[in-house]
A and B are shown apart, each in its own frame.
Chain A
Amino acid sequence: MLKKYAVRFAALGYLLVVLLGPLSMLFWRVYVEGAGKAWTALTDPDTIHAFKVTLELVAIAVPLNTLFGIVVALAIVRRRFLGKGLLNAFVDLPLALSPVVVGLSLYLLYGRTGWFGPWFSGHGIQVLFALPSMVLATIFVSVPFVAREVVPTLREIGDEQEQAAHTLGASGWQTFWRITLPSIRWAVIYGVIVTTARCLGEYGAVAIVSGSIQGKTETATLRVQEEYENLNLAGSYGISLVLAAIAIIVLILMTTLRPKEGVS
Chain B
Amino acid sequence: MGQPLASVAQPAPAVGRLVSNTTRERAGTALSLGFVTVFLSVIVALPIAALVWSSRNDGWSGFWTAVSAPEAVAALKLTLAVAALVALTNALAGTLIAWVLVRDEFRGKSLVNGIIDLPFALPTIVAGLLVLALYGPHSPVGVHAAFTRYAIYLVLLFVTLPFVVRTVQPVLYELDTQMEEAARSLGARELTIFTRIVFPSILPGILSGVAMAFARAIGEIGAIVILSGNLPYKTEVASVYVFNLSQSGNGTAAAAVAVVLLAISFAVLLAVGGIRRLATRYERA
Stretch in A39-47, A104-112, A153-161, A177-185 with 4+ CB within 8 Å of B: A104-112
Residue picked from B28, B110, B130, most chain A C-beta under 10 Å: B130
Contact (Cβ within 8 A) A8 B100:
yes
Instruction: Please name all residues of chain A whose beta carbon is closer than 8 Å to the beta carbon of B125 when the two chains form the complex.
Output: 201, 203, 221, 224-225, 240
CA distance A243 to B128 in the complex (A): 13
Say if the beta carbon of B24 comes within 8 Å of chain A: yes
Say if the beta carbon of A60 comes within 8 Å of chain B: no
Residue picked from B33, B101, B140, B255, most chain A C-beta under 10 Å: B33
Say if the beta carbon of A119 comes within 8 Å of chain B: no
Instruction: Please name all residues of chain A whose beta carbon is closer than 8 Å to the beta carbon of B146 when the two chains form the complex.
Output: none
Contact (Cβ within 8 A) B104 A7:
yes
Contact (Cβ within 8 A) A240 B129:
yes
Say if the beta carbon of B278 comes within 8 Å of chain A: no
CA distance A94 to B215 in the complex (A): 10
Within the complex, what minimum Cβ distance (angstroms) separates A253 from chain B? 9
- In this complex, the interface size class of chain B, counting residues with CB under 8 Å from chain A, is 35 or more
Contact (Cβ within 8 A) B32 A79:
yes
Interface residues of A in 87-136 (CB under 8 A from B): 87-109, 111, 114-115, 136
User: Digit string of B174-195 for contact with A (CB within 8 Å is 1, else 0)?
Assistant: 0000000000000000100000
Residue of A nearest to B130 (CB): A22
Interface residues of B in 14-52 (CB under 8 A from A): 21, 24, 28-29, 32-33, 35-36, 39-40, 43-48, 50-51
Residue of B nearest to A3 (CB): B190
CA distance A4 to B221 in the complex (A): 38
**How many A-B contacts if CB must be within 8 Å?**
280
**How many A residues have CB within 8 A of the partner chain?**
89
Interface residues of A in 221-235 (CB under 8 A from B): 221, 224-225, 228
CA distance A143 to B48 in the complex (A): 14
A15-B97 contact, Cβ under 8 Å, with A81-B33, A93-B265, A221-B222: yes
Query: Pick the contact of B115 from A19, A75, A99, A262 — CB < 8 Å?
Result: A19
Within the complex, what minimum Cβ distance (angstroms) separates B228 from chain A? 13
Query: Pick the contact of A261 from B33, B40, B113, B258 — CB < 8 Å?
Result: B113
Query: Nearest 6 pairs between A and B by C-beta?
Result: A98-B219, A201-B123, A262-B173, A203-B222, A105-B47, A25-B133
What would be 19 A-B contacts, judged by CB atoms less than 8 Å apart? A7-B104, A10-B96, A18-B154, A75-B29, A81-B29, A96-B269, A98-B220, A99-B219, A105-B48, A109-B46, A140-B47, A166-B21, A194-B120, A203-B225, A204-B243, A221-B123, A228-B129, A243-B123, A262-B170
Inter-chain pairs besides A18-B154, A99-B222, A107-B246, 19 sampled, C-beta below 8 Å: A11-B97, A18-B93, A19-B161, A72-B40, A81-B33, A98-B258, A100-B243, A101-B242, A105-B48, A106-B47, A108-B255, A109-B46, A140-B47, A221-B126, A221-B222, A240-B129, A247-B121, A247-B122, A251-B121
